[in-house]
Amino acid sequence: MSEKTAVSPTRQEDFPEWYQQVIRAADLAENSEVRGCMVIKPWGYALWERMQAVLDGMFKATGHRNAYFPLFIPLSYLEKEAAHVEGFAKECAVVTHHRLEAKDGKLVPSGQLSEPLIVRPTSETIIGAAYARWVKSWRDLPILLNQWANVVRWEMRPRLFLRTAEFLWQEGHTAHETSEEAVEETMKMLRVYETFARDYLAIPVITGEKSESERFPGAVQTYCIEAMVQDRKAIQAGTSHFLGQNFSKASGIQFQSRSGAVEHAWTTSWGVSTRLIGTLIMAHGDDDGLILPPRVAPAHVVIIPITPKEDTRAAVLEAADKLAAQLREVSYHGVPVQVEIDSRDLGGGVKNWEWIKKGIPIRIEIGPRDLAQGTVALSRRDRPHKEKAFLPNGDVLSGVTGILDEIQAELLARATAFRDANLKVIESKEDFYKFFTPANSDKPEIHGGFALAHWNGSAAVEEQIKNDLKVTIRCIPFSDSPEAGTCIFTGEPSKQRVVWAKSY
């Protein structure tokens, strides 16, 4: 009998379809009747709430506070920054009316607005306008704010979590007295994202700067964290922008400096979105569904009572409740161990598989035989699904955080090994093209990865490679000792290797 996977097709067979099926199998989200928009279901939203909680704490710890700015932005605001217009104009939802009137049994828009409003694709301009009001003196700086919000970008090809017309994110917006301070802020928040990705999502990321063509519209410099997922493509998991004085000039954020001169503030913005959920799915999921890193898992442990006989049912359920209560007393990195009890009247196998698909780190079965022996059967999501350890009750309580840490570490180790195995130093144009060309062009197999190659810094070369291979520069990685060399495409001098990949 061949081993049946919980998710079909497998990653090897059809990665994009596998991704969609994992979302369904894990009950994370579904497509809405509104094109490009998603319904985030409780398990998916709980995951987002965990991410929010951790990130919010990290933002507060770095001196930021939360605020909230309007969903609607006057059209004229977007026009203020030329590059910004260029970047976002083509994907804005526009509100033109403020009333509906009944007409022939239908509702038709009425009450035209004197100036159309756009639904925020990002909030630089409206926050900039507020900062312009708030900043008078160098003593008013810095302003360090964040907002948790939804934004709308009218995308051509939506994909659940990865690219949706509406998505949830946080956007940090800061204003500073000096360029140096703003740059420092930009880097600081990038490091927050890097830490979050590594220590919580168990995803190793490459940090670096975007090339000009990938830069945020209106930014002076865009920095990013780039992750590799299991089809070896890159995904930008977070960005941090040094905006220079572009937006403060556009919005009029001016202050009197220590010397009395009127100067424009230096601003930054930085964000991560629900795309992190998509990244997590593709980084860790397997052919049996989602795998959640314990530090962001909405629940750590599910207890599945096994009640084959009526006369032992009550005792088993009682033991399950007791174990759950004891586990909840245990603290895992500052949060109580989150325990679910699945006492639905279903077969044990069915319940087990549901939780496997949902990616819960630990499954504990407790049945009559365990009661007699004072044990439980414990399974881990990072191990083969049939593997069970029979542990004395006490060992579960004392060992649960250790097991969770092991799972967390294992996921990071796997993702890192995978990333490193598919990261190649490439020295010639020929090897580069070979690296990114699938053997089967009709139905491309998983191929490629991250290529570290020298580049002369020319946007034209980037454009050519993008046209030929759909490969782009994901980032110019930070390096203490950049190794100079020769551009593999032009033979011209290169300051350092950059990271090339196909991307989401």
Least Å from the CB of residue 153 to RNA: 5
- Of 60, 90, 99, 133, the one binding RNA by CB under 7 A: 90
Question: Which residues within the stretch 49-88 sit at the binding site for RNA (CB under 7 A)?
Answer: 87
Residue 18 tokens, joined = 């596998």
Query: What gap in Å lies between CA 432 and CA 436, rounded to an integer?
Result: 6
Give the CA angle between residues 249, 250, 254 to the nearest 5°: 40
- Of 170, 221, 307, 408, the one binding RNA by CB under 7 A: 307
Contact track, RNA, 163-202, x by CB under 7 A: xxx-x-----------------------------------
Determine if 106 is a binding residue for RNA (CB under 7 A).
Answer: no
- Of 308, 374, 438, 493, the one binding RNA by CB under 7 A: 308
Query: Of 58 and 371, which has the nearer Cβ to RNA?
Result: 371
Determine if 35 is a binding residue for RNA (CB under 7 A).
Answer: yes
Query: What gap in Å lies between CA 497 and CA 352, rounded to an integer?
Result: 47
Number of shown-chain residues binding RNA (CB under 7 A): 65
User: Angle, to 10 degrees, between the axis of helix 393-421 and the axis of helix 275-284?
Assistant: 90
Least Å from the CB of residue 58 to RNA: 19
Residue ranges of alpha helices (H) inside 62-173 are 75-78, 82-88, 124-134
Give phi and psi for 39, each to the nearest 5.
-100, 120
Query: What gap in Å lies between CA 18 and CA 201, rounded to an integer?
Result: 20
Residue ranges of alpha helices (H) inside 26-112 are 42-61, 75-78, 82-88
Torsion sign over Cα 32, 38, 44, 45: negative
- Of 11, 64, 385, 419, the one binding RNA by CB under 7 A: 385
Least Å from the CB of residue 328 to RNA: 21
Least Å from the CB of residue 144 to RNA: 21
Contact stretch for RNA (CB under 7 A) within 62-70, 77-85, 253-261, 382-390: 382-390
Contact stretch for RNA (CB under 7 A) within 110-118, 130-138, 379-387, 484-492: 379-387
Query: Of 130 and 303, which has the nearer Cβ to RNA?
Result: 303
Q: Amino acid identity of 322?
A: K
Query: What gap in Å lies between CA 131 and CA 154, rounded to an integer?
Result: 27
In this structure, are residues 284 and 296 in contact, taking their beta carbons and an 8 Å threshold? Answer: no
Query: Of 177 and 288, which has the nearer Cβ to RNA?
Result: 288
Contact stretch for RNA (CB under 7 A) within 198-206, 249-257, 414-422, 463-471: 463-471
Query: Of 177 and 365, which has the nearer Cβ to RNA?
Result: 365
Contact stretch for RNA (CB under 7 A) within 45-53, 159-167, 402-410, 423-431: 159-167
Contact track, RNA, 251-270, x by CB under 7 A: --------------------
Determine if 352 is a binding residue for RNA (CB under 7 A).
Answer: yes
Contact stretch for RNA (CB under 7 A) within 197-205, 340-348, 411-419, 487-495: 340-348
Determine if 274 is a binding residue for RNA (CB under 7 A).
Answer: yes
Q: Own/partner pairs for 38-41, CB < 8 Å, 24+ apart?
A: 38/160, 38/161, 38/164, 38/166, 40/168, 40/274
Task: Identify the DSSP state of 33.
Answer: S
What burial class does residue 316 get, using C-beta atoms within 10 Å of its C-beta: 0-12 exposed, 13-18 middle, 19+ buried? Answer: buried
Query: Of 9 and 485, which has the nearer Cβ to RNA?
Result: 9
Query: What gap in Å lies between CA 149 and CA 169, rounded to an integer?
Result: 6
Determine if 294 is a binding residue for RNA (CB under 7 A).
Answer: no
- Of 2, 106, 114, 157, the one binding RNA by CB under 7 A: 157
Least Å from the CB of residue 25 to RNA: 8
Q: In 51-89, which positions are buried (b, 16+ CB within 10 angstroms) versus exposed (e)?
A: beebbeebbeeeebeeeebebebbbebbebbeebeebbe
Least Å from the CB of residue 208 to RNA: 13
- Of 36, 44, 218, 448, the one binding RNA by CB under 7 A: 36
Query: Of 200 and 355, which has the nearer Cβ to RNA?
Result: 355
- Of 125, 146, 211, 236, the one binding RNA by CB under 7 A: 236
Beta strands, E only, 402-491 = 423-425, 450-454, 472-477, 485-486
Contact track, RNA, 206-235, x by CB under 7 A: --------x-xx-----------------x
Query: What gap in Å lies between CA 449 and CA 502, rounded to an integer?
Result: 8
Determine if 103 is a binding residue for RNA (CB under 7 A).
Answer: no
Query: What gap in Å lies between CA 326 and CA 323, rounded to an integer?
Result: 5
In this structure, are residues 279 and 229 in contact, taking their beta carbons and an 8 Å threshold? Answer: yes
In this structure, are residues 29 and 41 in contact, taking their beta carbons and an 8 Å threshold? Answer: yes
Query: What gap in Å lies between CA 128 and CA 138, rounded to an integer?
Result: 16
Residues that bind RNA (CB under 7 A): 4-6, 16, 31, 35-36, 87, 90-91, 153, 155-159, 162-165, 167, 214, 216-217, 235-236, 239, 273-275, 288, 306-308, 345-350, 352-354, 356-357, 363, 365-371, 376-377, 379, 385-388, 466-467, 470, 503-504
